[in-house]
Amino acid sequence: MSSKNCSGCHASITNGEYLQCRDCNQNYDILCANFSLKRFSSMTKENKLKWTCDACRNKHPKRNNQETPVRFNQLPTASEKETLDDSYVTLRPKRTHTLTHSSTENNSNIMHPDGNELSEIIGRQLKQSLREEMPELLKKMLLSELKTLSDQIAELTSSVEFLNKKYDDVHGLLKSREEENKKLRDCNEKLQTTVSNLSKRVSTLEQHGRENNIEIHGLPEHRTENIALTVMQIGKVVSQTMEDGDIMSCFRVAKANNDSTRPRTVVVKFRSNRCRDALLAAVSNYNKKNKLDKLNTNLIGMGGTKQQLYISEHLSPEKKSLHAATRIKAKELSYRFTWIRNGKIYVWSTVLAILFTVPLALLPDELPTSRLFFYGAMATSSLATFLACCLLIFSESRVI
């Protein structure tokens, strides 16, 4: 359908809000026809078909055969007004020849409006267009924004669902790891207990394998030495008769510190622990009887500088470390005597005549402060002191 143009403002009429003159068939929009939208909507179809434009109405003859579209009344002058007031005479407006000229100007103004009227007409049309098109534009804008927002919400929802799934996976994995960790801790505790028990058993077996052995410290080394004959000579010095079959083997062990100038320790293995204990007892008795000339190298027929010989039980490495730590701690606590018997470490205090063993489980910094076991008579007459000392007994201490 071709668009129509308004004969008044020459604008294109895009909607059906216009009137067509029945005489000249010219089209006018409702603004140029001086109709409001409400008035135009209330008109019937017959009225719209009977409508004539101002130009055609001006051509129709009016009263007095005047062809003026509009008749203007001249206002009376001041003198005429006074005459009117005094004479009660009705004066009619004078006809002037300017009416024809005014009609021409009005027709010209209607057909060719000036700038202000054109601006008003354009403004009204613009407002009308905005009223008609703005809802559609807003609707399109809102739909576009809502679509974008909907896409973003859908993407966000997908991301949240993905994160929830990942969280569930991680939570399940963490829970399974916690259960595995708990099982591993329980297993670790059991293994630690087993290792501790096995360590104690190994230590006991190591010491049991050394129960027939003695260690000789301070014996000088020679290339052609015969350690078995030297041990037999020591037995003669301390008055302990030994046969050649009593000695199973004898050898030197490596030094713990290679920079030490002391000779290597000699390990002698006897046929039984009776032979070992007999020799140890004989050496102890000899040293007690000869405090000024204890067992040394000169007594067994070795020349050179006299060096004292120390004979003791053969201990496992763990008990050797414990014995060394016990001697240090006993010195700090003013305990005078520390010795070994049957693989056990003993400490003797001269103040209360206390004899106790050092448990193998004690660490060097825990040696011995309160875990004591009493043996023999107390060298005091105070019963209260004896009872107070008895309170220091603990179940893990070893009975002699």
> pLDDT (tens digit, 9 = 90+) per residue, 221-239?
988 899 999 999 999 999 9
Residue 214 and residue 270 in contact, taking contact as beta carbons nearer than 8 Å:
yes
Quote the CA–CA distance of 299 and 283 in Å, as a whole number: 13
What pLDDT, on a 0 to 100 scale, did the predictor assign at position 377? 31
The segment with the largest mean pLDDT, out of 46-60, 121-135, 195-209, is 195-209
> pLDDT (tens digit, 9 = 90+) per residue, 259-306?
888 999 999 999 999 999 999 999 999 999 998 889 999 998 888 888
What pLDDT, on a 0 to 100 scale, did the predictor assign at position 32? 86
C-alpha 50, offset from chain centre: 87
Please indicate, yes or no, whether the overall pTM of this predicted structure exceeds 0.75.
no
What pLDDT, on a 0 to 100 scale, did the predictor assign at position 35? 82
- b/e string for 213-229 if b means 16 or more Cβ within 10 A? bbbbebbeeeeeeebee
Q: Which of 151, 173, 208 is the last residue of a domain?
A: 208
What pLDDT, on a 0 to 100 scale, did the predictor assign at position 178? 94
Query: Would the CA dihedral through 272, 275, 276, 278 be positive or negative?
Result: positive
Count of domains observed in the chain: 4
- Indicate whether 121 and 11 sit together in one domain: yes
- Indicate whether 229 and 300 sit together in one domain: yes
- Indicate whether 122 and 169 sit together in one domain: no
> pLDDT (tens digit, 9 = 90+) per residue, 305-321?
889 999 999 998 888 88
- Indicate whether 277 and 351 sit together in one domain: no
> pLDDT (tens digit, 9 = 90+) per residue, 143-186?
888 988 999 999 999 999 999 999 999 999 999 999 999 999 99
CATH at residue 249: 3.30.70.1820
Quote the CA–CA distance of 297 and 232 in Å, as a whole number: 13
> pLDDT (tens digit, 9 = 90+) per residue, 45-104?
888 888 888 888 877 665 555 544 444 344 444 444 444 344 444 444 444 444 344 444
Query: Are β-strands 344-349 and 354-357 bridged in parallel, bridged antiparallel, or unpaired?
Result: antiparallel
- Indicate whether 218 and 283 sit together in one domain: yes
- Indicate whether 40 and 87 sit together in one domain: yes
What pLDDT, on a 0 to 100 scale, did the predictor assign at position 63? 53
397 against 185, higher pLDDT: 185
- Indicate whether 305 and 346 sit together in one domain: no
- Indicate whether 257 and 164 sit together in one domain: no
What pLDDT, on a 0 to 100 scale, did the predictor assign at position 378? 33
- Indicate whether 122 and 27 sit together in one domain: yes
CATH at residue 20: 3.30.40.10
What pLDDT, on a 0 to 100 scale, did the predictor assign at position 376? 32
Q: Which of 111, 129, 147 is the last residue of a domain?
A: 129
Quote the CA–CA distance of 400 and 359 in Å, as a whole number: 12
- Indicate whether 219 and 170 sit together in one domain: no
- Indicate whether 48 and 124 sit together in one domain: yes
Residue 267 and residue 252 in contact, taking contact as beta carbons nearer than 8 Å:
yes
What average pLDDT does this structure show over 9-26? 83
C-alpha separations of 257 from 28, 103, 214, 235, 364 in Å: 125, 139, 21, 30, 21
- Token pair, residue 132, equals 């008609």
Range of the domain at 322: 316-400
User: Strand locations in the chain, DSSP E?
Assistant: 4-5, 12-13, 18-20, 27-29, 213-217, 247-252, 266-270, 310-313, 337-341, 344-349, 354-357
> pLDDT (tens digit, 9 = 90+) per residue, 330-358?
888 888 888 888 888 888 876 544 555 55
- Indicate whether 140 and 125 sit together in one domain: no
Quote the CA–CA distance of 340 and 311 in Å, as a whole number: 11
Q: Which of 129, 157, 175 is the last residue of a domain?
A: 129
